[in-house]
Amino acid sequence: MSSALESSAVSNDVHHPGEASKDQESSIPQLDTLISHLVAAKRSLSSINHVWRANEIVTAARSALEESVIVSARTGFLRRGLNNQLRLLYSVRSEVEEISLRGRSEFAGVLKDLDAAGARLRKTLGLLQGTIVHPSFRPDGEDQKSLHDFVDERGVDELHAALKASIDRTNAAQLDLDSSNYAFDNELQAIKKALGNYREVTKLASSRSSSSSSPSASNSSLPNLSSMPSMLHSLEMHAQEMANLLESLVRHFDLCVTAVKHTEGGGAAAQTITGDMPAGVNVNGRGGPNIEEEINAHLNAPLDPLSESGYLEMVSVLMKDAAEAEDVVMEIQDRIGEMESVLESIICSRDNLLSVYNATTEIFGHISSLASVRLPSYIAQAHNFTRVWNEEHDRINGGLADLSDLSSLYDGFLEAYDSLILEVSRRRHVRQRVEKVLRDAKHKLDQLYEEDVNAREAFRVEQGDYLPSDIWPGIGCEPMRIEFQRIFGGSLKPEDGEPSEAHAESTVRTSDEQHPPAAAEELVADDEVIPDLPKSLVEQALARLQARSKQVA
């Protein structure tokens, strides 16, 4: 509406409009037309509300931009540290899990070794219990006994109790660690949920940002912030232009008021129409004049004289501007609509940034709470399990060695019993050979003795009458007699060569009358009794010893 701006240049010559020529009067609009334009001009001034709203929009957009910049900077800072924090957190969880898995695997291996050692010991004890000591080894009248009766199992029970205590303590530590790791996993699950919410919020914010701003925003993980300053500048330009348009409407209204007041009969109508003007605001956003004050000052000012030509020119400008006033109002409405849309985009971008920021802070809230309160206890629990397992591992290994030693000891007992059976068989065989030698020697000695006696008696009969009795004192002696001397069996000499007990000696005659042959079921030599074991028992013992030798080989 440049013509309205130019209306101020209309000449102010002192003439009454009634002095116009008849043809000019015919082109002058009627007062009703001017009044209708005045009413329309007044109505157009209601656009001042849009200008006021435009000022609010610019202020709100500027505030949203400032908040968005701050939030975006904070979000970027948090995001840069977020990955490192998550990597560190999951690294700690992996280490704790590795400790648990390694300890569980080692514990399972040790339990497997314990089971094997325990099974071996139980098998050996079962063999001891199933091996009955032959009655010939034991005193007469004694109840039947097995090799197990000669074993003191208190050591085995104590060892089992110690191993059970170590296993129970390790299991308790493992359960505590599992419980701690389960709580740790719950913490991580909460963080994963927050991460999922963060990704959803970021994705949604990015899609909203891409639909309301530049196409490149869809490729960003955060809402686009770079377009907001240009949008704010656009709002400022719209607000400035709306202020300028409103100023042109004010000038048009001023021109209408002036034209009506300079038209005959229009002064009162102008006062009536302009009696209730809209409340004024600062329309240009730069501290310009207040519209209400400007209009009131103009309405209350006295009329300046106006020439007829000036009046006609003013009316001509008014009529031209009146045709454009509606377009100006529509343009203001379009601009305020555009500003509302841009502000909505800015607010949406800000809200998107805030939602991403809130989702990011939620993750950091979980991480901060976990790191400051519970994470140290999870790590301490892993260290406690490692300490307990190291202690009990050493004890269990010692118990394994003791179980192996006991199994070896009892296996040796079994082998020694089989060897004892063979030793008894060997001794009996040796004793039988000795007794045979003794019997053979006694028989020969007795034969020699009888032959000698008979020869001496024959010599005495034949030659005794001729030999003097004092020629040799021994001529009438009987032949010598041989007696066998048995040494009672004492204890065998230990490695130092000293006997453990003194040897007791006794002279035992070997005549058949004094020492008859030993009974078939046992050989008695003084105080030594050698059992007579069944041949099958000896053969079984020999077979077992040979089988063990093959296993060792």
Give the range among 124-133, 163-172, 312-321, 491-500 with minimum mean pLDDT: 491-500
Q: How many residues does the chain have?
A: 553
Pick the closest to residue 431 from 491, 527, 518, 534 (CA basis).
Answer: 518
Q: Do residues 266 and 306 make contact, with C-beta atoms less than 8 angstroms apart?
A: no
Beta-strand relationship, 523-525 and 528-530 = antiparallel
**Mean of the pLDDT values across residues 118-138?**
90
Q: Do residues 352 and 344 make contact, with C-beta atoms less than 8 angstroms apart?
A: no
- How many CA atoms are closer than 13 Å to the CA of 545, on its beta-carbon side? 16
What are the tokens at 5? 């701006």
Would you say residue 552 has pLDDT above 80?
no
Q: φ and ψ at 277, to 5 degrees?
A: -85, 155
User: What pLDDT is attached to residue 29?
Assistant: 67
Which tops the pLDDT comparison, 377 or 34?
A: 377
Would you say residue 98 has pLDDT above 60?
yes
The pLDDT tens digits of the residues spanning 522-543 come to: 444 445 788 888 999 999 989 9
Pick the closest to residue 125 from 159, 145, 151, 143 (CA basis).
Answer: 151
What are the tokens at 112? 């497997």
- Could you give the C-alpha distances from 365 to 85, 247, 281, 359, 384, in angstroms and in order? 12, 53, 46, 10, 28
**Mean of the pLDDT values across residues 295-303?**
57
**Mean of the pLDDT values across residues 320-327?**
81
Would you say residue 229 has pLDDT above 70?
yes
Q: What is the mean pLDDT of the chain?
A: 78
Confidence of residue 441 (pLDDT cuts 50, 70, 90): very high
Confidence of residue 359 (pLDDT cuts 50, 70, 90): confident
Q: Where are the domains of the chain?
A: 1-414
Q: How many CB atoms lie within 10 A of CB 57?
A: 23
Pick the closest to residue 192 from 427, 363, 343, 321 (CA basis).
Answer: 363
The pLDDT tens digits of the residues spanning 237-272 come to: 999 999 998 888 888 887 787 777 766 655 555 656
**Mean of the pLDDT values across residues 341-350?**
88
DSSP 309-335: HHHHHHHHHHHHHHHHHHHHHHHHHHH
How far apart CA 159 and CA 399 sit, in angstroms, is 7
User: What pLDDT is attached to residue 265?
Assistant: 54
Q: Which amino acid is at 248?
A: S
Which tops the pLDDT comparison, 522 or 127?
A: 127
For residue 4, give every residue at least 6 positions away whose Cβ sits within 8 Å of its Cβ, in sequence order, or none: 248, 251, 252, 255, 317, 321
* 3 state SS of 487: strand
How far apart CA 507 and CA 484 sit, in angstroms, is 7
What are the tokens at 308? 């007829």
Give the range among 104-108, 120-124, 267-271, 356-360 with minimum mean pLDDT: 267-271
Strand partners, 528: 525
Pick the closest to residue 180 from 350, 1, 378 (CA basis).
Answer: 378
- What Rg, from alpha-carbon coordinates, does the chain have? 65
- Could you give the C-alpha distances from 307 to 261, 311, 316, 459, in angstroms and in order? 14, 6, 14, 213
Most confident residue range from 318-327, 439-448, 490-499 = 439-448
The pLDDT tens digits of the residues spanning 466-483 come to: 888 788 888 888 898 888
Would you say residue 63 has pLDDT above 80?
yes
Confidence of residue 274 (pLDDT cuts 50, 70, 90): low
What are the tokens at 130? 């199933």
Tokens 């109840």 locate to: 143
Environment class of residue 330 by beta-carbon count within 10 Å: exposed (0-12), middle (13-18) or buried (19+)?
exposed
pTM to 2 decimal places? 0.60
